[in-house]
Amino acid sequence: MAEPFNNRLVVSDQNSRGNMKLQGKVLNWNDDKGFGFVEPNGGGDRAFVHIKAFNPRSRRPVNGDMIIYDLVRENNNRFKAENIKFAHDIKRSNKRREAEKSNLFGSVFTLLFCIGLLVSVFTGKLPFIIAGLYFVMSFIAFVAYAIDKAAAQNGRWRTRERTLHIFSLAGGWPGAFFAQSKLRHKFSKEEFKIVYWITVLLNLGGLYWLHTDKGISFLSNVILPLIK
């Protein structure tokens, strides 16, 4: 089945009835009787709409709703809409699928990072304190996300997005990703996710530098003496 694009698409008709997939606006809806009409975007044949044709029936339509539907010509040459879905539901479903794909990539990426970090620590390339820093900052980031989500749900003072990004930049990005995934917080906000992944790349750049001669010298002569 073809995905909706622009206003109209001709799709394959498994029943050989010349069905068309259209997008249009609900008009003259009579909620007591459960029927109305739909007028396709860009003009065309107005079609009869019945409540039973909505699949799935997530809610009852109102005048002005945008719907995606199959246009079917009946034996009396009148048109009716079948297999109706709300356009908003389809867009939301597509966004959810894209977010889930991104989440799968992020999960694999984070797991590989954690493995690589532990290998670097146990092979002596990085001191244990670095792994400890990532663990602590990830915990702080997760708690910050949880607090911010609770604040959003209860109308309280929110945590600044800049603060959340600073936690990620400082090494808490694995915990931040886990919070986004499990708490569904900032999960599908595109602008936030872009900045988040920039902080991840910057953090990884700094971690890579710590593996260089200058980075190792900095750890040995500056960081470790301060800790001790």
* Count of structural domains, the chain: 2
Same domain for 143 and 197?
Answer: yes
Least confident span in 24-28, 79-83, 224-228: 224-228
**Does 12 score more than 70 pLDDT?**
no
Last residue of a domain, which of 41, 73, 89? 89
Q: What is the mean pLDDT of residues 57-76?
A: 87
Selection from 192, 74, 206, 60 nearest residue 137 by Cα: 206
**Does 135 score more than 70 pLDDT?**
yes
Does 72 fall in a domain? yes
The pLDDT > 70 percentage for the chain reads: 89
The residue ranking higher by pLDDT, 131 or 42, is 131
For residue 155, what are the domain limits?
A: 126-227
Same domain for 144 and 51?
Answer: no
Tokens of 83: 């297999």
Give the integer Cα–Cα distance in Å for 190 and 228.
Answer: 42
Does 65 fall in a domain? yes
Is the model's pTM score more than 0.85?
no
Can you give the CATH number for the domain in which 37 is found? 2.40.50.140
Same domain for 145 and 81?
Answer: no
Does 163 fall in a domain? yes
Does 94 fall in a domain? no
Q: Which tens digits make up the pLDDT trace of 24-43?
A: 999 999 999 999 999 998 88
Q: What is the pLDDT of residue 162?
A: 95
Q: What is the mean pLDDT of residues 108-126?
A: 94
